[in-house]
Amino acid sequence: MKKKRSILPIILLLIVSLVCGLYPLISNLQHKQLQKQMISNYQSAVEETAPQDLEKEWDKAREYNRHIAKQTKLKEPFAGSKMQQSDRSYENILNLNGDGVMGYIEIPKIEVKLPIVHGTDDEDLERAAGHLPKTSFPVGGTSSHSVLSAHRGLPSAKLFTDLDQLEENDIFLLHILDKELYYRVAQIKVVEPENTEDLRIVKGKDYVTLVTCTPYAVNSHRLLVRGERTTEPPNYDVKFSFIDFLRLHFYGVTIGTIALGSIIAIAVILNKTHDRKS
């Protein structure tokens, strides 16, 4: 008599494979929902703030930028940014909700829409784009240079994973308080992590540089995508609703296909086992 083999290990293997296969998709959807909620909360806070109070926030940010323009030393964007006691005033600027969100960025070409938070701690960069302290707040103005960074290649979230797809003249925009600021990509460079020369303020210029690690999964260097302030392009309207619908539809089909395939495989195995017993 042949020894009956248990199918439990096979079923467990299928379940583990299913979980591993779905994790990146589900985690990315969860992060997108969190980012969407952070942005929604921020928009509500802006709408509920009186115009004169919004103007005070603009004034505080511009004053900070005037002070920053006098500095000469910058830190590496992914070195972390724990606030010292003397830096607490930084956290109180552009922080309407008290949750650290100062606005959000949209990069239409790569379908990115992320909250912008104070600081570049790892915890912050896993859920949003982080503003590098000691660089200008992203409120525009001559002789300003804001640096925004986010991780790339995380299995749990997209973030700046596709930043290398941007080309010169592509547009990205910042939503800060009650204004939209448009930037046109003017320079793309790859540098050593400690090289911060291209993050410095240039007199008379209004720059925002997006930073992430490169090459993908190696992370030995930094990709710098510098945008220069521009006016709103004619007939420019950013809409993500249809793109989001297609993406969610794709995720749903993928998840459903994997789940259905696993169920069919388990059913076939159980049926064969039943036939052998019969």
Alpha carbon distance 136, 143 (integer Å)? 9
CB 49 within 8 A of CB 86: no
Question: How high is the pLDDT of residue 267?
Answer: 60
Sign of the C-alpha dihedral computed for residues 79, 65, 227 and 242 taken in this order? positive
Confidence of residue 211 (pLDDT cuts 50, 70, 90): very high
140-161: average pLDDT:
87
Alpha carbon distance 81, 121 (integer Å)? 6
Q: For residue range 260-273, what is the model confidence (pLDDT) as tens digits?
A: 566 666 666 656 66
**To the nearest whole number, what is the mean pLDDT of the chain?**
82
More confident residue, 278 or 64: 64
Query: What is 43-241's CATH superfamily?
Result: Sortase (2.40.260.10)
257-261: average pLDDT:
59
87-107: average pLDDT:
93
Question: How high is the pLDDT of residue 241?
Answer: 46
Highest averaged pLDDT of the listed ranges 128-132, 249-253, 270-274: 128-132
205-219: average pLDDT:
93
What is the value of pTM for the model shown? 0.76
Nearest to 127 by CA among 109, 100, 98: 100
